[in-house]
Amino acid sequence: MIDDGHPLEASLGYDFADPSLLELALTHRSFTAEEDAEESNERLEFLGDAVLGLIVSTELHEAWDLKEGEMAKVRAAVVNEATLATVARSIGVDEAVQISRGEDASGGRHKPSILADAMEALIGAVYLDGGLEAARRVVLGRWRPIIADRAASPGERDYKTRLQEVLAREGLLPVYEVAGSGPDHSRMFEAAVRVGGEILGHGVGSSKKRAQQAAARAALEARGVADA
């Protein structure tokens, strides 16, 4: 059993009144087949998916002046497996998720699908334990900057998310480095995207975001991704 004061509670910014919900959210189906566990996190994952969609949709409706089609594009860009897996890694789900020994040996802790499912299950668990407002605080604590990044330019092609999705299949996470130059009135930015010590692409732009998008596009083209 997971004890009170589990490190994931600090990362989430939420203390569970019922710690068994936290344990269930972190229980992958492979673990139930190998250990003495009656239920996996699949039902909580289903619930969490709906809660996350509602919270993100509400934030877009209340905080951003976007058309319906634009809101749909932003929601799709921020509520997907790659983003969920990235958020999951950032709070330590990869270390906390309970998976079978075989799944662990095959790199299961780094699989985007397992991490994304566990993240959705955690959101569902918070909702059941503390209600919608608690779930909203947890979600927006992690998703609000992601939403803002996409909602600021909903019509632009999102190469950063596409690259993130491609790399997530390999258990990799891109890191961006950005430097600016020139006077304030005509400042230019140069970005590099890398994985570990390998630079995947460079890009320039009139803002940090545009430079990062250009670098991501270059990385996708270098990897031969058809829709880059």
What are the residue boundaries of the structural domains of the chain, listed by start?
Answer: 11-151, 159-222
Q: Is the pLDDT confidence value at 9 over 90? A: yes
**Burial zone of 159 (CB within 10 Å; 0-12 exposed, 13-18 middle, 19+ buried):** buried
Query: What is the pTM (predicted TM-score) of this model?
Result: 0.73
Lookup: tokens for 125: 């668990």
Q: Domain 11-151 has what CATH class?
A: mainly alpha
Strand order in the sheet with 175-181: 175-181, 188-195, 198-205
What are phi and psi for residue 7, nearest 5 degrees?
Answer: -55, -30
Q: Given pLDDT bands bounded at 50, 70 and 90, which one contains residue 17?
A: very high
Q: What are the pLDDT digits (tens) for 122-160? A: 999 999 999 999 999 999 999 998 888 788 777 667 788
Is 41's pLDDT higher than 90? yes
* pLDDT band, very low/low/confident/very high, at 4 (cuts 50, 70, 90): low
Residue 39 CA, chain-centre distance (Å), reads 25
The pLDDT of residue 2 is: 45
* pLDDT greater than 60 at residue 175: yes
Instruction: Give the per-residue pLDDT at 1.
Output: 41
| Domain covering 159-222: architecture | 2-Layer Sandwich (3.30)
Residue 76 pLDDT greater than 60, yes or no: yes
Residues designated as active site? 49, 120
More confident residue, 182 or 62: 62
